[in-house]
Amino acid sequence: MEGLSRKEQIKQVAAHMFRKRGYKATSMRDIASEMGMEAPSLYNHIAGKQQILSELLMMIANAFTEGMKQIKSSPLDSLQKLERLIKLHVDITIDHTDAVSLLTNEWVHMEGINARKFKKLKNDYEKDFKRILETCVFEGKLKKVNVDLALFSILSTLRWLYSWYSKNPKVNRIKLEQQMTLLLVPIID
């Protein structure tokens, strides 16, 4: 965590604790203790637990949204775009394992405008992903399958990749990207 601002250090520690204990079971006092600080000192850097959760989840949602935007506008064919999306998930998972883990269950604890923004980004991302799958099927690059089921299967696997990766952190990024593509694309090919 060297080189990070104190706020970023707090967010990293909190993300790890949220992943291990859950958002509800982690207190600001727990985070402060892990940081070697007094709980009131945390509030010099961050307003509270809700801000931490929102900033972590919005960072991840924005990373996926930006990645999707670049992939959609690229000259790649539909199957290459699908493969690039899998690579995007692997890259974000490796770079932000603890924060990505919050996508499976902890995002439901977001409140207010950030919760609405997050849900919109999530829904838009899934719609774009589905369109790429539909294009793959339409162009004959994938067999005719239930695209909703294919989307659910692929995204479920990718969303839970953090769990496997946290137990296998030394795996080579490129090999993992290749393996995930081989495993997920044949599911629908």
CA dihedral 10, 12, 16, 19 (to 10 degrees): 100
Which CATH number do you get for residue 133? 1.10.357.10
When divided into structural domains, the chain yields a total of 1
Q: Please say whether the beta carbons of 88 and 71 come within 8 A.
A: yes
Neighbours of 17 (CB within 10 A): 20
Q: Please say whether the beta carbons of 93 and 157 come within 8 A.
A: no
Report pLDDT for 2: 72
Residues with pLDDT less than 50, the chain: 189
Neighbours of 160 (CB within 10 A): 15
Flag whether 8 is in a domain: no
Flag whether 31 is in a domain: no
Q: What is the largest CA-CA distance in the chain?
A: 60
Flag whether 174 is in a domain: yes
Q: What is the pTM of this model?
A: 0.92
Which amino acid is present at 8?
E
Report pLDDT for 144: 86
Flag whether 7 is in a domain: no
Flag whether 20 is in a domain: no
Q: Please say whether the beta carbons of 9 and 91 come within 8 A.
A: no
Structural domain range at position 164: 49-188
Residues 177-188: tens digit of each pLDDT: 999 999 998 665
CA gyration radius, the chain: 18
The Cα–Cα gap between 6 and 183 comes to 40
